[in-house]
Amino acid sequence: MKTKIIAAGALLILAMALIGADATAGTNPNIAGVVRDKSTGELLPGATVILSGTSLGASTDPEGKYVIRNVPPGSYTIGVTYIGYEPVTVSATVEAGVDLKEDFRLQSVALQGETVVVTAQAAGQSEAINTQLSSQQIVSVVSAARIQELPDANAAEAVGRLPGVAVLRNGGEGNEIVVRGLQPKYNAILIDGVRMSSSNANDRSADLSMISPYSLDGIEVSKSVTPDQDPDVLGGTVNFRMKEAATEKSGLGLSLIGQGGYDGLPDAPNKYNNYKFRKEEPQLERTLSRISAGEKQSGGLHDNVAGHQRPSEG
């Protein structure tokens, strides 16, 4: 009996050793890094990083980071592509049991021909397009530069400009959204991936009039349900990405937003019932001056009013 127990224990130890050896042998290193803009140093989310000649690759997350897992040891050519930027390729060697860190800085594409001005809006739109392309679901993305381009009163007004999204108004101001024709209670509102609680006592809808569009770093509208989302969403999911304080650059930061408008009605007298007092009406101006000064109009104004009274019959 004792001999059988010793034999069984030896077999168990041998089996555990073999399993541990196989697990160690099957674990390959990872390739990780960050993708940035070469000129500004800004993070580039949605960039595609692949190992040429293989099926291994990854996309950068909202913080510009990527991880390619379980890469067999050997020499590879790493390629990075991003819309609006020149593709980059580098050679790297992966050693067994050692993770490789490889960061990339991409240069924006220079167009030859007429002089063009690259603005922040173009950079923001490139980020939104790349995020849509790298997403695993049907999603519409709006960048912060695009949001600030239009003078929307709140977040509901901003997201209402996307296709398939309508705005419900209360007192002339948008406060709730309709996705694909379904009521607000059938949609989910997220703040940085965290579901927003309902502000309505009768259903699950959320009031968006309290969210300023200038506090948003982007808007993501998903119209398809994936396993990582709540199953009670029939219309769509709206994720508001909030701005964060810059941590990469030290010092004081300042951001200014200016808006203006023009009204041409004052230059057109009596246009669309826009009455105004002109210099060619001195009698009316003098009459109004006397009234404002508190003078008693026993003469002209009273007579003019009495002269328009209906005469008595008989």
**Are 101 and 184 members of one domain?**
no
**Are 218 and 178 members of one domain?**
yes
User: Model pTM?
Assistant: 0.47
Structural domain contains residue 223? yes
Structural domain contains residue 13? no
Q: Is 130:141 a contact under the CB 8 Å cutoff?
A: no
Residue after which a domain boundary falls, among 198, 226, 242: 242
Structural domain contains residue 46? yes
Residue 306 confidence class, pLDDT cut points 50, 70, 90: very low
**What is the number of alpha carbons within 13 Å of residue 93 lying toward its C-beta?**
1
Query: In this predicted model, what pLDDT tens digit does every residue of 40-87 receive, in sequence order?
Result: 888 888 899 999 988 899 999 888 899 999 999 999 999 999 988 899
User: Domain of 203: which CATH number?
Assistant: 2.170.130.10
Structural domain contains residue 83? yes
Structural domain contains residue 1? no
Question: By C-alpha distance, which of 179, 307, 159 is closest to 236?
Answer: 179
Reply yes or no on whether the pLDDT at 273 is more than 60: no
Instruction: Return the pLDDT at 23.
Output: 44
Reply yes or no on whether the pLDDT at 180 is more than 60: yes
**Are 37 and 102 members of one domain?**
yes
Residue 262 confidence class, pLDDT cut points 50, 70, 90: low
Instruction: Return the pLDDT at 80.
Output: 94
Instruction: Return the pLDDT at 276.
Output: 47
**What is the Cα 229 distance to its own chain's centre?**
19
User: Domain of 62: which CATH number?
Assistant: 2.60.40.1120
Instruction: Return the pLDDT at 305.
Output: 44
Ranges 118-122, 142-146, 224-228, 296-300: which has the least confidence = 296-300
**Are 87 and 157 members of one domain?**
no
Residue after which a domain boundary falls, among 242, 265, 288: 242
Structural domain contains residue 148? yes
Instruction: Return the pLDDT at 84.
Output: 84
Structural domain contains residue 267? no
Structural domain contains residue 43? yes
One-letter-per-residue 3-state SS of the chain: CHHHHHHHHHHHHHHHHHHHHHHHHHCCCCEEEEEEECCCCCECCCCEEEECCCCCEEECCCCCEEEECCCCCEEEEEEEECCCECCEEEEEEECCCCCEECCEEECECCCCCCCCCCCHHHHHHHHHHHHHHHCCCCEEEEEHHHHHHCCCCCHHHHHCCCCCEEEEEECCEEEEEEECCECHHHCEEEECCEECCCCCCCCCCCCCCCCCHHHEEEEEEECCCCCCCCCCCCCCEEEEEECCCCCCCCCCCCCCCCCCCCCCHHHCCCECCECCCCCCCHHHHHHHHHHHCCCCCCCHHHHHHHHCCCCCCC
Task: Specify the higher pLDDT residue, 206 or 296.
Answer: 206
Query: In this predicted model, what pLDDT tens digit does every residue of 202-211 receive, in sequence order?
Result: 888 888 888 8
Question: By C-alpha distance, which of 74, 73, 46 is closest to 60?
Answer: 46
Domain that holds residue 152: 135-242
Residue after which a domain boundary falls, among 196, 219, 242: 242
**Are 93 and 146 members of one domain?**
no
Round to whole Å and give the CA distance between 103 and 105.
7
Count of structural domains, the chain = 2
